[in-house]
Amino acid sequence: MKKNNFNKNRNKTGSPRQNEAGNNRNPRQTQTSRTETTPRQPASNIRVVTTAEIKKKSFSRVKLSIAVVVSLIMIGVFIIVNNNIDKKKAQKCIPVDNVDHLIGVENMEIKDGVLKLSGYCFKNGIDTVETKQFAQVMVILMNMDDQNEKYFMKSSITRHEKLNEMFPLKFTDYVNGGFEAEIKTSKLDLDSKNYEILFSKMDYAWDADGFCQTGIRSGYYIIKGELVNNK
């Protein structure tokens, strides 16, 4: 009797190995099956770009490109016009002999495509501090073989502390008689052309358009790319 009861209970509950296999089911498989049965929700943060917005962005880029091109054209036109004005100014400048100016081109340097000159230029016996008449000094390079070919250098006055020692004169200060000037070497032909250095200042004749009419001969030249003093 006891043996029969054991068999009946065994049939109901199953073998120990079967129960253990049932309890040890893979949880990943269970989770996967649950996930597959759950419907996916559409993402709410995805924004659809319309055709109108694409056209608007493209049009903005086109306008920006056009503005950049127009700006570059205007800059190019300004440079060309400015160069033509400088050429006209220089061509109208007539060289004259130096009468009462003290002129010295002390240094010439060519570096990074730029030619630089420095020295002094002022009227003898005139105080440069009181009159300030040399504030508009302009250095001009003139082709020695063609006087119509002249180039304005970017010029400015500078303090020259040694001028009062070099040219002592009572009650006269020449300290503002220095100058510096520069020009791009691409505008010149230093290999095959020689240039005479001229000076133009406001105390000489200028016409109504601001074009200098005279340029003082300095006695200095640029010959074969070298500074030459021919005083």
Max distance between CA atoms of the chain, in angstroms, equals 151
Q: Is the pLDDT of residue 2 over 50?
A: no
Please report, for the chain, the start and end positions of each structural domain, with discontinuous segments joined by +.
Answer: 92-229
Encode pLDDT of 147-158 as tens digits: 889 998 999 889
> Which residue's structure tokens are 């016409």?
207
Q: Is 33 exposed, middle or buried (0-12, 13-18, 19+ CB in 10 A)?
A: exposed
Cα(first)–Cα(last) distance of the chain, in Å? 147
Query: Mean pLDDT across the chain, nearest whole number?
Result: 76
| Residues written for the chain | 231
Q: Is the pLDDT of residue 169 over 60?
A: yes
The better pLDDT of the pair 142, 91 is held by 142
**What is the band of 117 on the pLDDT scale with cuts at 50, 70, 90?**
very high
Q: Is the pLDDT of residue 127 over 90?
A: no
Highest-confidence segment of 2-6, 32-36, 54-58: 54-58
* Integer angstrom CA distances of residue 24 from 6, 17, 27, 36, 147: 25, 11, 8, 22, 108
Contact 196, 141 (CB under 8 A): yes
From CA 65, how far away is CA 73, in angstroms rounded?
Answer: 12
Determine which helix (DSSP H) or strand (DSSP E) holds 182, and give its type and residue range. strand 178-184
The whole-number pLDDT of residue 31 equals 47
From CA 13, how far away is CA 223, in angstroms rounded?
Answer: 119
How far out from the chain centre does Cα 54 lie?
A: 35
What is residue 48's DSSP assignment?
Answer: P
From CA 203, how far away is CA 134, in angstroms rounded?
Answer: 8
Reference 112, options 179, 178, 180, 182; nearest CA is 182
Q: Is the pLDDT of residue 57 over 80?
A: no
The arrangement of secondary structure in 92-229, i.e. its CATH architecture, is Sandwich (2.60)
Q: Is the pLDDT of residue 207 over 50?
A: no
Structure tokens, 114: 């730029």
Structure tokens, 107: 């240094």
Q: Is the pLDDT of residue 93 over 90?
A: no
Encode pLDDT of 20-53 as tens digits: 445 555 554 444 444 455 555 555 566 666 777 6
Encode pLDDT of 63-78 as tens digits: 788 888 888 888 877 6
For 86-139, the DSSP string reads HHHHHHTPEEE--SSEEEEEEEEEEETTEEEEEEEEEETT--HHHH-TTTT-EE
Highest-confidence segment of 11-15, 53-57, 105-109, 147-151: 105-109
| pTM for the whole structure | 0.61
Q: What is the dihedral of CA 150, 154, 157, 161, to 10 degrees?
A: -100
**What is the band of 134 on the pLDDT scale with cuts at 50, 70, 90?**
very low
- Specify the range with the lowest mean pLDDT, choosing from 86-95, 160-169, 200-209: 200-209
From CA 198, how far away is CA 32, in angstroms rounded?
Answer: 94
The better pLDDT of the pair 132, 63 is held by 63
